[in-house]
Structure 1
Amino acid sequence: MLGTLINRFCFGLRILLGLMMGLLAIPVAMQVISRYTGIIPTFLWTEELATFLFVWIVMIGSVIAVWDGTHFDVRITPDATTPAFRLLQNGIVHVSIMAFGALFLFYGIEYAEFGGKQRSVMMRANLIITHVSVPIAGGLWLLLAGYRFSEAVAQFLNRESLSS
């Protein structure tokens, strides 16, 4: 039930990510055309907009990567052959992501408040627009990695009960 809900949420994030990537092409194209052709005047706000979109694309992409398990992890031991060792290996990855998520959430709130007191140079937009992506992503990492960890524990316990 909860997994299905999270899958739908991440599907929505994928759609949003695709839209944002398409939207990012517009200010970047405007920058390239204005710099190399002179057909249109140089708009300085396009660089800020591209940066804002890029920050959100990275943070949304990282949330999807945590859910899909495609966020990189470094294995310093061979892949586990036993269920207990597999749980340990995957558990370390999930708990590490949860720890970083908690740090991003905790310190990201202060970071977002700091951004809320600033404005961008060209667009005069409140920088909380980008700064708030840090605690949001951290909170989602924490939740999604926690769910994946609970799935790994449940899978281990089910295997253990089946083998008994």
Structure 2
Amino acid sequence: MIKNFLEGLCQVLRVLVGALIAVLIIPVAMQVLARYTGIIPVYLWTEELANFIFVWVVMLGSMIAVWEGTHFDVLVFPEATSRWGMLLQKGFVLIMVSAFALLFAWYGIGYAKFGSIQSSVMLQANLLFTYITVPLAGFVWSAFSLYHLWEVIQTFRESGHASQ
């Protein structure tokens, strides 16, 4: 049930990233047309909008990468072959990702509060819109990594029962 919910959340994130990349094409195309062809005037708000969208794409993409296990994981030692080795190797990485994620979430709340009292120069948009990605990413990273840690522990337990 939890896995289905988290997989569904990740699927929503994938759709959002795809939609945001499609939307990102508009302000970037406007910038290119304005700068290199002169067909349209230079709109400064397009650069701000592109930056805001890009921040969201990066943070949502990092959430997806944590779910898929393709982010924050560097193989320093050879892949473990024993039950205990796999538990320690994968468990350590997931605990570190979870700790980092919880720090991001905790300190990201203050960061988002700081952003809520600021406005962008051209769009006059509240910067909370962008700053909120930090604690949001922290909470989602922690949920995903803690679930994967639980899966690693379950795999360890099941492999122990199978060998007995």
Q: In the aligned structure 1, how far is the partner of 2:98 from the partner of 2:73? A: 13
* Equivalence for 1:111: 111
* Equivalence for 1:11: 11
In the TM superposition, 1:1-164 aligns within 5 A as 1-164=1-164
Residues 11-44 of structure 1 deviation map (CA, whole Å, 9 limit, x = unaligned): 1110111000000011000000000000000000
Q: In the aligned structure 1, how far is the partner of 2:132 from the partner of 2:138? A: 10
Instruction: Please state how far the C-alpha of 1:145 moved relative to its aligned partner.
Output: 0.1
After TM superposition, the runs of 4+ consecutive aligned structure 1 residues lying more than 3 A away are none
Corresponding pairs, count: 164
Residues 35-81 of structure 1 deviation map (CA, whole Å, 9 limit, x = unaligned): 00000000000000000000000110011000000114222211111
Q: Structure 1 stretches of 5 or more lacking a match?
A: none
Amino acid at match of 1:92: F
Amino acid at match of 2:73: D
Q: In the aligned structure 2, how far is the partner of 1:35 from the partner of 1:93? A: 45
What's the % identity of the aligned pairs?
A: 50
Q: TM-score, normalised by structure 1?
A: 0.98
RMSD (Å), alpha carbons: 0.8
Q: In the aligned structure 2, how far is the partner of 1:12 from the partner of 1:75? A: 29
Instruction: Please state how far the C-alpha of 1:93 moved relative to its aligned partner.
Output: 1.1
Moved more, 57-66 or 76-85: 76-85
Q: Structure 2 stretches of 5 or more lacking a match?
A: none
Moved more, 66-75 or 21-30: 66-75
